Amino acid sequence: MRLNAQFPTRDIGSDPAKMRDWAQAAEDLGYAYIEVPDHVFGATARDGWSPLYNETDPFHETFTTLAFLAAVTKQIRLSSGVLILPQRQTGVVAKQAAEVDLLSGGRLRLGIGVGWNHVEYEALGAEWKTRGARQAEQVKVLRKLWSEDLVSFSGRFHELCEVNIVPPPVQRPIPVWFGGASDAVVKRAAELGDGWMPIIAPDAQAEAKLATLRGHLKAFGRDPAKFGIEGWLRMNEPDPQRWAAAADGWRKLGADMVMLYPMYRMTRFDEQIETLRRFKEVAEG
């Protein structure tokens, strides 16, 4: 089971040298992927709604950061973790992802989600209620734009007539993994995805979700051996024993990868590097 590193977007600060040093430390430690979180806007609480992240939480722009990380690393793979796809123009995402894949030598994975922040959708002029259906169609369009020399497509949300992306990505197509754990997302991932990235504990609920996923994969005629699983370990405090137990739980459930997902803040750079080192130590046993 491989280990992935979440880019500490809220705590790394604005010094490019530290971003470079952190990424190179993750690569030197042997992490499989660096995953860059995504939010365009911060938002204040309102009308009884409180955001998981608010107007004080910094988020580096996803594709620009991935391109920077591509330039300062050599082998470690790169991923969005996860890009809120339905609030974006599909063609622009296809172009940005293709460029990052090109600049990284084919190291990109596109992790996608539907998001939880309706305020962000509204501020971007995107439709909140149709986000699931839009995401499903977007994946089909993305794959065509990355794989075909000239694309035409007519759907509910997209009308393309003989358009293309030049230069194309190295990977044709770029792998797409789905984040989220709702029943709709699990089914959508099984139908359209290359993998699934749930933020749930490795417990009986996760085991049931995996059984449902395997059922959907079978129904769609897909090979489970070619479909990836990455457990995200959401942690509210720096507790290496809990990290190790969660990683072991996902290992027993057959996950291909796990990633530590700290909800707590790490304001010191040395703490961010030590977390990389310590998680790898305890998760590998």
3-class DSSP assignment, residue 77: strand
Looking at residue 281, the DSSP 8-state letter turns out to be: H
63 vs 32, 70, 213, 242, CA distance in Å?
19, 10, 29, 32
Contact partners, residue 266, CB within 8 Å, separation at least 6: 8, 11, 238, 272, 275
Binned at pLDDT 50, 70 and 90, residue 202 comes out as: very high
CA-wise closest residue to 84 among 145, 43, 26: 43
Contact partners, residue 274, CB within 8 Å, separation at least 6: none
Looking at the chain, how many residues does it have?
285
For range 29-41, the mean pLDDT: 98
Q: Which residue has the tokens 């042997």?
A: 30
Cα gap 250→232, rounded to integer Å: 9
Asked if residues 76 and 34 have their Cβ atoms less than 8 Å apart, the reply is yes
What CATH number does residue 262 fall under?
A: 3.20.20.30
Residue 243: per-residue pLDDT: 98
Q: Which domain holds residue 43?
A: 2-283
Contact partners, residue 103, CB within 8 Å, separation at least 6: 67, 70, 71
pLDDT tens-digit series, residues 244-281: 999 999 999 999 999 999 999 999 999 999 999 999 99
pLDDT tens-digit series, residues 129-180: 999 999 999 999 999 999 999 999 999 999 999 999 999 999 999 999 999 9
Cα gap 70→24, rounded to integer Å: 11
Residue 152: per-residue pLDDT: 98
Contact partners, residue 139, CB within 8 Å, separation at least 6: 85, 112, 176, 192, 193
Cβ count within 10 A of residue 135:
25
pLDDT tens-digit series, residues 40-99: 999 999 999 999 999 999 999 999 999 999 999 999 999 999 999 999 999 999 999 999
Cα gap 81→177, rounded to integer Å: 9
Binned at pLDDT 50, 70 and 90, residue 285 comes out as: confident
Residue 25: per-residue pLDDT: 98
The total number of structural domains in the chain stands at 1
pLDDT tens-digit series, residues 92-125: 999 999 999 999 999 999 999 999 999 999 999 9
Cβ count within 10 A of residue 123:
13
